[in-house]
């Protein structure tokens, strides 16, 4: 059964919901593959792409820092009903993603510097 937010009510953990027929369904949890943010092809990217990558990653860091400061902005009212374990996992995930973004910025900046130094 496909999950439709408007037709289901979440349980206290936010992981399962009951349909109007009483059936319990698992709510799909958002996942992000951090490798998607890796700049594997830095040498193939142009300078404009490299600069844009740094800007986008910086923007994502700010968004994640805001999520950590105010998790309800991301989860809405469901945040209050989540278990402490689930809340901690969400925050740790955002922190891990921030670390990956910073590493990618560092690698990208190194590539920009390398190109400038090599003229």
Q: How do residues 92-110 score in pLDDT, each as one tens digit?
A: 999 999 999 999 999 999 9
pTM of the model: 0.66
Q: How do residues 6-35 score in pLDDT, each as one tens digit?
A: 555 555 555 666 666 767 666 666 665 555
d(CA 104, CA 89): 23
DSSP strands (E only) in the chain: 9-10, 16-18, 24-26
């Amino acid at each position: 059964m496909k999950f439709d937010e408007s037709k289901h009510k979440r349980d206290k953990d936010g992981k399962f919901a009951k349909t109007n027929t009483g059936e319990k369904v698992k709510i799909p949890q958002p996942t992000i593959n951090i490798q998607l943010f890796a700049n594997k092809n830095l040498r193939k990217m142009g300078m404009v792409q490299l600069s844009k990558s740094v800007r986008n990653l910086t923007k994502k860091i700010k968004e994640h820092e805001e999520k950590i400061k105010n998790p309800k902005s991301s989860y809405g009212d469901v945040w209050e009903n989540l278990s402490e374990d689930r809340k901690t996992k969400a925050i740790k995930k955002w922190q891990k993603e921030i670390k990956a973004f910073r590493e990618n910025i560092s690698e990208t900046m190194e590539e920009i510097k390398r190109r400038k130094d090599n003229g």
